[in-house]
Every structure is written in structure tokens, then in C-alpha cells.
Chain A
Amino acid sequence: MIHLPDQLYINASSLISQQVVYKDRRPVFSDQGSDLQGFLRSAYQGLQVNYPKFYKMDNLSKLGWLCAEWLLRDHFSGEVYRPQDVGVVLSNANASLDTDIRYFESTRQFASPALFVYTLPNIVIGEICIRHHFQGENAFFIFEHFDANFIEQYVGNLVNNNILQACICGWVDCLGDGYKAALFLVEKKPGPQAMEFTAENILTIYHSDNG
């Protein structure tokens, strides 16, 4: 007998693109007057949380951390799950190249230890997990373009096989002034804003900034 995978749900989404933060496809924060660095700082201050380590992160981690913060506020109660039941699966096109270049430039004078620790793309996953106490399966994939089909299959497999009960997944990419982050909260039970976890819906959300 063939066991069909259960329908999973996107219970929340967040998107950061072109100096705008979207929560569930609605703009919730914007700062068009800044460069990326300034925008990330003002978006953090807009959250009104106290997390001094934010300032020490590289841009990729700041971007992913902010996107996760918007994703999980209001909709997510961490107490429902054991820490090992919540995982993070991310992808992007430029790995940690943005910080790799900055670190390489720092080595001309004094190699910066603070930059060096961010010269891996999966550090952003660590920052999100530390903040929210997640200890479940995690992975970071590098693709040329955002791949909704892969996310649907990979995350669907993790949750349907009970390796995870909930997963934060998506895309966090940053190189120079170019960036985009799109995160999805995937769970087994539908919440009030739920969309079915399908590649089509993932893509619809990903492009909701018209980008």
C-alpha cells in the first residue's frame, strides 16, 4: 500500500526585498532612505527587541535573522514543540561570498576574527537557532536560482518522515547591495493564515514583492 504524504501548511511567511519587509505578503516595514547596512539596522530597531549580538553579525546573518524574527512573531509558539523538532533549511545563490570578500580585504592589514566566523553560509542558520532555541535538522543549499520544487520536496520529506515537526525554510541571499530573503513556516496543522505547502504557493509568496 502506497502511503501518500500528508498535506503540510505554510502558516506564515516573511520577505525582505528592496528595503521593504513583508509579513504574510503585506508590507510591515519600509526604509527607502538607507543603503543595505542602514536598512538592516533600522529594520532591527523597528522590531523593538533587545539583541545586541545583532550588530556583530554579517549582512547575510542580519538579513536571515530579521526575516526569521518577522516570520515567527505572532504566529509561532515555540513551546508547542521540543527544540529538536524544529529545523531550518535555507538556500541561496552566493553562499557567504559577501563576507568572504570583506574578510579577504581585511587580511591585507589585520585579518578580522569577527568577520572570519561568518565565512560560511550556514552561520545564519546558527544565529536563527540560537535566538529561537531550535535544535532540529538543518541544512544550507547553494542554487543558482530559488528552487521552490526542491524546498517542497526536501522539507516535505523531513516533516512527513517525522524528522521535524516544523521547519523554517526558504532563501536568504546577499552580495553587495543585492539581497533578498523569503522564509516560510511549515507545519503539519493549518493556522489561521495557512496556505497549502506547495511549490506553486511557495513561488507566489517568493514573488509577492513583484521581484
Chain B
Amino acid sequence: MKRQIIEQLNMQDITPEDIGDDQPLFVEGLGLDSIDALELIVLLQQHYKIKLSNADDGPKVFRSVRTMAEYIMAHQAQNA
């Protein structure tokens, strides 16, 4: 998923190893911005067929790679 994030956000000077599992994705962490947040929503739709139905969930879901992975796994378990 780190590789997908790097590709989706065109972060060509960053490797998957540079992103910590619990590192904040926004502001003081990876420094992502609001456009990147929209790209992450597209990533969820494109790769995992997940539509983020409640915008208020965004900050919680996109806090880190781990929270994103947990959200995806929970969604997949729900739809299994």
C-alpha cells in the first residue's frame, strides 16, 4: 500500500521504507495536503472499491498507513 500511495501521489523522491506505519500522513508527517487527500480517496476507490461515504471519517482513516490498512481490512471483512 505504501507503494500505491507513492505512485498515486507522485512522490518520486520517497521509497516505501521512508514511510513509517504510524507516521502521520498529513502536515508534520509526510506533509500531504488537501489535494493529496482527494487522491487517497481515489486510491481507495480504484484499488479497493471502497467509497468513503462519510467525509468526517477522512481524518481518522487517513491518519497513517496503519489506519488506512485497518480501514480497508475492516471494509473487506464486512463485505466478505
Interface of A is mostly: helix
Chain A 38-66, CB within 8 Å of chain B: the 1/0 string?
A: 00010000000000100110000000000
Question: Across the interface, do A112 and B11 meet the contact criterion of CB distance under 8 Å?
Answer: no
* Chain A residue nearest to B41 in the complex (CB): A113
Q: State the 6 A-B residue pairs at the shortest beta-carbon distance, nearest first.
A: A113-B38, A55-B12, A110-B42, A56-B10, A55-B10, A113-B35
Q: List 28 A-B contacts (CB under 8 A).
A: A41-B12, A52-B11, A52-B14, A52-B31, A55-B10, A55-B11, A55-B12, A55-B13, A56-B9, A56-B10, A56-B11, A109-B46, A110-B42, A110-B45, A110-B46, A111-B42, A112-B39, A112-B42, A113-B35, A113-B38, A113-B39, A113-B42, A114-B9, A114-B35, A114-B36, A114-B38, A114-B39, A117-B35
Within 8 A of A (CB), among B6-55: 9-14, 31, 35-36, 38-39, 42, 45-46
Chain A 92-134, CB within 8 Å of chain B: the 1/0 string?
A: 0000000000000000011111100100000000000000000
Once bound together, how far apart are the Cα atoms of A110 and B49, in whole Å? 12
Interface residue ranges, B against A (CB under 8 Å)? 9-14, 31, 35-36, 38-39, 42, 45-46
Residues of A within 8 A of B39 (CB): 112-114
Interface residue ranges, A against B (CB under 8 Å)? 41, 52, 55-56, 109-114, 117
Closest beta carbon of chain A to B15's beta carbon, Å? 13
Residues of B within 8 A of A52 (CB): 11, 13-14, 31
Given contacts A52-B14, A52-B31, A56-B10, 14 further A-B contacts (CB under 8 A): A52-B11, A52-B13, A55-B12, A55-B13, A56-B11, A110-B42, A110-B45, A111-B42, A112-B42, A113-B35, A113-B38, A113-B39, A113-B42, A114-B36
